Structure 1
Amino acid sequence: MSAQVSDELWDEFHRAVNMSSRELREWLSVEAAGEDSEEVPDRAGRPLGRQVLETLGKRRTDLTESDTEAMTRVVEIVRAQRPEGTDPKAGGADWRHGLMDIGHDPLKE
C-alpha cells in the first residue's frame, strides 16, 4: 500500500539524509561489526537506519505509511540534534555517529 508523501517531507528528508545509500550501507555494516560478532549485512545497524536505507531505495510512489513515519522521525531528529547554523564539528564522535546511523553526516555539505 502506497502512502502519500508531501513535497515538503520528501524534500526535507532528502536534505536531512545527506549520505548516499552506499555510504549508509557501509557505515551500518562497519558500525555493527564487533570483535566477537558481525551482523548479517541485511540486518546491520539500528532499525531506523535500516529503514532509512530501504526508503532511499524506493520510488516515492512505493513508500508505505511506515516509511513516511520513519522519514518524519529522521527529519525531527536531525532538526533537534543539528539546528540550522550548528557548526558541523559542534558535537563529539558519538553525536556524529548517532546522526550517521540515520544517514546524516554533519561533516558533509
Structure 2
Amino acid sequence: MTDALEADALWQDFHRVVNMTSAELMAWLRVRDADENTEPLPEEAGTPTGRHVVAILQKRRTDLTDDDLRVMRTVVDRVTRQVDLYEEPEVEEADETRRRHRLMDLGHDPLKASR
C-alpha cells in the first residue's frame, strides 16, 4: 500500500505526464483500433493500460485502488522514459509518428501542451 504523501506525488506526476482528457484518450483509442470495416466497442478499444488510464482520469484521488496506483506508476515511468529517449533531433518522421502514437496510447500527446 502506498502512503498518502506518495499517492499525492504520484497523482501529480500522473497528471503532469497525461495531458489528454479521458474523452480525448477514449476517442483516440477508438480511432486507433478502427479499420475501414469495423470499429471496436468503446469498452474494448485500445490497450488494457489505455482503458485503465481513461478510468483513472474519471476518478477522484480518494477513489484510487492499489491497481490504479500501479498503472499510474507504469504510465509515468513509460512516458518519462520515452520522452527522454527521443529528445534527439534526428528521429525520422515514421519513427516519430510511431512514438507519438505509443505515447498517446498512454494519454500523453507530445504535440499538446501539458495540462
* 1:79-98 alignment runs, 5 A limit: 79-83=80-84, 86=87, 92-98=96-102
Larger helix percent: 2
Displacement of 1:37: 3.0
- In the alignment, the residues of structure 2 paired with residue 19 and residue 53 of structure 1 have an alpha-carbon distance, to the nearest angstrom, of 9
Counterpart of 2:109 in structure 1 is 105
Question: How has the CA–CA distance of structure 1 residues 88 and 21 changed in structure 2, closer, same or farther, with 3 Å as cutoff?
Answer: farther
- In the alignment, the residues of structure 1 paired with residue 65 and residue 18 of structure 2 have an alpha-carbon distance, to the nearest angstrom, of 18
Q: Is the 8 A contact 1:44 1:50 kept in 2?
A: yes
Question: How has the CA–CA distance of structure 1 residues 89 and 32 changed in structure 2, closer, same or farther, with 3 Å as cutoff?
Answer: farther
Count of residues in correspondence between the two structures: 107
- In the alignment, the residues of structure 2 paired with residue 96 and residue 8 of structure 1 have an alpha-carbon distance, to the nearest angstrom, of 25
Displacement of 1:89: 9.5
Q: Is the 8 A contact 2:7 2:69 kept in 1?
A: no
What is the one-letter code of the residue matched to 1:37?
Answer: T
Q: Which runs of 4+ in 1 moved over 6 A?
A: none
- Name the TM-score, length of structure 2 as normaliser: 0.83
- Name the TM-score, length of structure 1 as normaliser: 0.87
Task: Name which one, 1 or 2, has greater alpha-carbon Rg.
Answer: 2
Displacement of 1:22: 1.1
Displacement of 1:67: 0.4
Question: How has the CA–CA distance of structure 1 residues 12 and 68 changed in structure 2, closer, same or farther, with 3 Å as cutoff?
Answer: same
SS state at 2:84 partner: coil
CA RMSD in angstroms, aligned pairs only: 2.3
